[in-house]
Chains A and B, each alone.
Chain A
Amino acid sequence: MSREARVGIFVLLGLIVLTFFTFRVSKWGLIAEKGYRLTVDFDSAAGLEPKSDVKMAGVPIGKVEEIRLVGNRARLVLRIHQGIRIPIDSVGTIQTQGLLGEKYVEIIPGKDAQRNLPAGGRVANTLSPTNLDEMVRKLSAIGDDVKKFTESLSSTFGTEEGKKALGDILRDVRATTATLRTVVQGNEARFDRILANIDRLSADLSDISASNKQDLRATIANLRVFSDTLKSETPALVSKLEEMSDRVSGVVGDNREDLKVTIRNLKAASARLDNTLDSAGRVMARIDRGEGTLGKLVSDNTAYTSLTSTLDGINRYVRKTEQLKTFVDYRLEWQQEPSEFKHYVNLRLQPTADKYYTIGVVDDPRGKFSSSTSTVTVNGTPTTYSTETYDNKLKFSALIARKFSGLTVKGGVIESTGGLGLEYELLKNRLTVGADAWDFARKGLSSNSLPPHLKLYGNYDIVKNLFVTGGVDDVLATERNLRTLFLGFGIKFADEDLKTVLGAVPIKP
């Protein structure tokens, strides 16, 4: 074979392989594929790519051919394999597969088996993933509101006055219920009948739902279908409700006298409730006027504005990289030797994910060490006793820490002396193991130098806010049983938690 022929074959083979690749990966390959197109619109196609799968009942039936913006919604062009029939009332959703969140389009088949979507047709019904997100967001907003409400209540009733008012309310309610009880006791039979009616009503209701179980199942995937169904069933429901209200009014008619008494009692109760609310109102008014500490905090505009401007300033400073995060933790350690508790309170400011500052206070049961020697002479033999005592001492720590992926290096002041520490995070950051070393110039009893204070520890987060800790303290010490095991637990709050704890603040902006 000549040289030219060899080179020619070489290049030609390369071109063939390239053409093969090209057809496998490019749009031409797709066009050559059989099948028909459908379109479907979503509020968001986030995470979807051209060539993502289209599935029905989990079975791939095609691919996403194109994604483009129409108006402000995402229009997907799907290519569905030949011979796949999709009912006209099917619903399109975007779903996530696997942990990495590979997105695909799932078509939930409709019930209308007679009519299928034609080629080029549009899947009219969709469920956007954003709807779900929004729902979750709304729910959490509601939760926040409820939290705020209960917090304001608790702050209202937290005062002495509030407590008294609460007592009054409770007394009034007790009286009211007593009255109610007597009313009810005299009319047990009638109440029984009411209950029976309600029973029947609920049975009817469950019938209604039972006859539409199929629909309800579809509802889970298709809220629109559900509401349609509900609409169609509404007349029946209304008639049932009518019937029920008839019965209720019958019951009321039969017991008019008793009810009158009940209402009178309720009226009296509500009058007292009025009084209570008055006093609550007075509390609120005082808060509004800025009386009392809470009131000051709530009403003092200057304090508030200075606070907000300060926060704004901090935010502006911090926003450059990331929002400042604040953590507060408290921990308790039981030491084996001497058997006492050591307390820690720390405040951690974390301006960026990879570094933080900690300041903290430590109540150390053996913070201060003192000894005294006494010589006792027994039977002419002098014996020297030395007593050693530990005393509580408050110490403080201030550290700068820097994170390199799992490894944190920190340094600064540990328990009032210079120190260094290393920490490593394991098990998805739930387990932290570390070593701190400080007090490098430690002096012993007879001013002999002692090795530095080295503490090996492990923390394990049981839940977000609660952790347990344990390890060996003063590992290097050889003297006087300084080396000790310790066990403990702690609580910690991130700034989200702190906001709810300190939630009283935003009641009155």
Chain B
Amino acid sequence: MTDSTARKNGAVRLAELLGERVYAMVLDLGAIFTLFVQVVSSLVRPPSEIRNIVKQMEEVGIRSMPVVLVTATFTGMVLALQSYAGFQRFGATSFVGSVVALSITRELGPVFAGLMVSGRVGASMAAELGTMKVTEQIDALVTLATNPVKYLIVPRVVAATIVLPVLVVFADLLGIVGGYFVSVHLMGANPYVYVAKTYQYLEFKDIYTGLVKASVFGMLIALISCHHGFVAEGGAEGVGRATTRAVVASSMMVLISDYFMTSFMF
């Protein structure tokens, strides 16, 4: 008797937990969308936040360069290695260049750059804004006649949206160079053929769709991370939670939105 009640309570508790999670997720999504609307509407209003945008571009772009470039290089290298091993089995090693170039530009460049930026920049945005929130700095902004969305979030979103495609351009380049290095210097591919194949099937569309994706990733990462920072509560611990949520949510959103964009764009 007691056992069965306990079990029932457990099941109900589980359902409640699930419900809470889903409810929280829907609330989050709604809040993020509202934030997006606010960002867009305050984007056009003066004063322009150009100095802040430049500052955030440095933070998101230049500071993320090392991690994104190292990731991209090794991605290209491992891609070449794996494709080479696979294609050797049916004598199509000349296609390694094409495969590396296409995979990097269409998919892996934007996605890995997005994930790296989620981890690095998303965390720092959430932590910074979260700290500002719990120490009332955001309230202070409001009393100083400043819209915190415009002052804090707009520059981050704009900077990430602009800068991520730039990062991806470098990631594309280094990924291809990494693939070239492995294929030509380690696997002994013909360098001329490799370069020719790299460009033969690569179309401008492949590159720009990757850049469009990257732009959207940048926007989503900044929006999500800023949102989680903005709603942080409960001191240092709350900031920590917000940071974790921001990184998890923005990484997931990168992959989810990637699927939908890919299915719409190609």
Q: Which residues of B contact A100 (CB under 8 A)?
A: 90, 92, 95
B266 contacts chain A at the CB level, 8 A cutoff: no
Per the CB 8 Å criterion, the residue count for chain A at the interface is 21
Chain B proximity mask over A451-463: 1 for CB below 8 Å, otherwise 0: 0000000000000
| CB-nearest residue of chain A to B172 | A21
B117 contacts chain A at the CB level, 8 A cutoff: no
**Could you write out 26 A-B pairs with CB less than 8 Å apart?**
A3-B54, A3-B58, A4-B54, A6-B62, A7-B58, A10-B61, A10-B62, A11-B57, A11-B61, A11-B163, A14-B169, A17-B170, A17-B172, A18-B211, A21-B172, A21-B173, A22-B207, A24-B199, A24-B202, A25-B199, A25-B204, A25-B206, A25-B207, A51-B201, A98-B91, A99-B92
Expressed in whole angstroms, the minimum distance between the Cβ of B149 and any Cβ of chain A is 23
User: In the complex, A49→B62 CA distance in Å?
Assistant: 39
Chain A proximity mask over B87-123: 1 for CB below 8 Å, otherwise 0: 0001110110000000000000000000000000000
Q: Which listed residue (A6, A13, A14, A26) contacts B58, Cβ 8 A?
A: A6
Q: Which residues of A contact B202 (CB under 8 A)?
A: 21, 24-25
In the bound complex, do residue B92 and residue A17 qualify as a contact, i.e. CB atoms below 8 Å apart?
no
> Closest 3 A-B residue pairs measured CB to CB?
A14-B166, A14-B169, A7-B57
Chain A proximity mask over B42-66: 1 for CB below 8 Å, otherwise 0: 0000000000001101100110010
Expressed in whole angstroms, the minimum distance between the Cβ of B258 and any Cβ of chain A is 21
B203 contacts chain A at the CB level, 8 A cutoff: yes
User: In the complex, A26→B205 CA distance in Å?
Assistant: 9
Given A25-B207, A100-B95, are A7 and B62 neighbors across the interface (CB < 8 Å)?
yes
Give residues of chain B (165-218) contacting chain A, Cβ–Cβ below 8 Å: 165-167, 169-170, 172-173, 199-204, 206-207, 211
Interface secondary structure of B, over-half rule: helix
Given A7-B62, A99-B92, are A17 and B173 neighbors across the interface (CB < 8 Å)?
yes
**Apart from the given pairs A17-B170, A18-B207, A100-B95, 20 other A-B contacts in the complex at a CB distance below 8 Å:** A3-B55, A3-B58, A4-B54, A7-B58, A10-B57, A10-B163, A10-B166, A11-B163, A14-B166, A17-B169, A18-B169, A21-B172, A21-B207, A25-B202, A25-B206, A26-B204, A51-B200, A51-B201, A98-B91, A98-B94
Expressed in whole angstroms, the minimum distance between the Cβ of B31 and any Cβ of chain A is 30
Q: Which listed residue (B94, B166, B200, B206) contacts A11, Cβ 8 A?
A: B166
Q: Which residues of A contact B203 (CB under 8 A)?
A: 25-26
| CB-nearest residue of chain A to B167 | A14
In the bound complex, do residue A98 and residue B92 qualify as a contact, i.e. CB atoms below 8 Å apart?
yes
Q: Which residues of A contact B55 (CB under 8 A)?
A: 3
In the bound complex, do residue B91 and residue A99 qualify as a contact, i.e. CB atoms below 8 Å apart?
yes
User: In the complex, A21→B165 CA distance in Å?
Assistant: 14
Q: Which residues of B contact A4 (CB under 8 A)?
A: 54
Q: Which residues of B contact A13 (CB under 8 A)?
A: 170
Q: Which residues of A contact B61 (CB under 8 A)?
A: 7, 10-11
Expressed in whole angstroms, the minimum distance between the Cβ of A78 and any Cβ of chain B is 15
User: In the complex, A128→B199 CA distance in Å?
Assistant: 28
